[in-house]
Amino acid sequence: MSEEIKTESLVPSEGGDDKGDAKTSARQRKSPRFKVDWPSRALLPGKRIIAIRTKDASLGGVGFESGESMAVGSEVNIELTPWVGGREYVIRAKCVITYNMLLADNAGFSHGVRFTYVPPEQLDNLKMVLKSLE
């Protein structure tokens, strides 16, 4: 197996592009999605880091809320920090934004991302964390 693991090989899409609504993304999802509530961070273009809150996770990507809007199709790096068994895991991934929706009462934005690259060790951690949620 190569050193770099592309999540596309783990979670193949059924066609379409990365730009779509949440329903399209749900149809393309190949792994189960779990509701979570993880503090996380996003590295935006220009090397600006913002706090985000991960609300759901799967092997193919995550959904999160933030105070800033991110354009569909833009690339971001995220850092997830789930706790399992009293231990914090740090999972970093490169992603592309697949949807962006304004939350009720202008309370921020809901985003969906598809992973484009997760380092092998961190992918193993993500699998372990998700398995603990089953």
10 Å Cβ neighbour count for 126? 22
Of 3-12, 54-63, 104-113, the least confident = 3-12
pLDDT digit string, tens, across residues 68-125 = 999 999 999 999 999 999 999 999 999 999 999 999 998 999 999 999 999 999 999 9
pTM of the predicted protein model: 0.78
Whole-number pLDDT of residue 25 = 52
d(CA 132, CA 134): 6
Token duo for residue 9: 């090989």
d(CA 18, CA 100): 12
Token duo for residue 102: 């304004």
**Which position has the token pair 């998700």?**
130
Residue 6, pLDDT > 90, answer no
pLDDT digit string, tens, across residues 31-54 = 899 999 999 999 988 899 999 999
CATH level 2 (architecture), domain 7-133: Beta Barrel (2.40)
**CB distance 59 to 10 below 8 Å:** yes
d(CA 43, CA 21): 23
d(CA 89, CA 86): 10
Token duo for residue 24: 């399209």
